[in-house]
Amino acid sequence: MSERLTVRKTHKLFIGGAFPRSESGRTYEVSNARGEFIANMSWASRKDARNAVLAARKAMSAWSAATAYNRGQVLYRIAEIMDGRRGDFADAVAAAEGCTEAQAVTQVDLAIDRWVWYAGWADKISQVLGSANPVAGPFFDFSVPEPTGVVAVVAPQDSSLLGLVSVIAPVIVSGNAVLVIPSHDGPIPAISLAEALATSDVPGGVVNILTGDAAEIMPWLAGHADVNAIDLTGMTPGEEAVSAEREAAGTIKRVMRPAPGTDWSADPGLTRLRFFVETKTVWHPMGT
pLDDT of residue 1: 57
3-state secondary structure 57-70: HHHHHHHHHCCHHH
**Runs of H (alpha helix) within the chain:** 46-65, 68-84, 86-97, 101-121, 125-129, 162-172, 188-198, 214-222, 239-249, 271-275
Nearest to 209 by CA among 168, 253, 174, 245: 168
Single-letter amino acid, residue 225: A
Answer whether 156's CB lies under 8 Å from 231's CB: no
What is the Cβ-side half-sphere exposure of residue 268, based on CA atoms within 13 angstroms?
25
d(CA 150, CA 130): 21
- Per DSSP, the three-state class of 126 is helix
Answer whether 47's CB lies under 8 Å from 216's CB: no
Parallel, antiparallel or unpaired: strands 27-31 and 37-42: antiparallel
d(CA 67, CA 74): 11
Q: Phi, psi at residue 61, to the nearest 5°?
A: -65, -45
One digit per residue, the tens of pLDDT, for the chain of length 288 reads: 567 777 778 899 999 999 999 999 999 999 988 889 999 999 999 999 999 999 999 999 999 999 999 999 999 999 999 999 999 999 999 999 999 999 999 999 999 999 999 999 999 999 999 888 888 888 888 899 999 999 999 999 999 999 999 999 999 999 999 999 999 999 999 999 999 999 999 999 999 999 999 999 999 999 999 999 999 999 999 989 999 999 999 999 999 999 989 999 999 999 999 999 999 888 888 865
Domain 11-285 architecture: 3-Layer(aba) Sandwich (3.40)
pLDDT of residue 133: 86
Q: Phi, psi at residue 242, to the nearest 5°?
A: -65, -40
- Per DSSP, the three-state class of 217 is helix
pLDDT of residue 288: 56
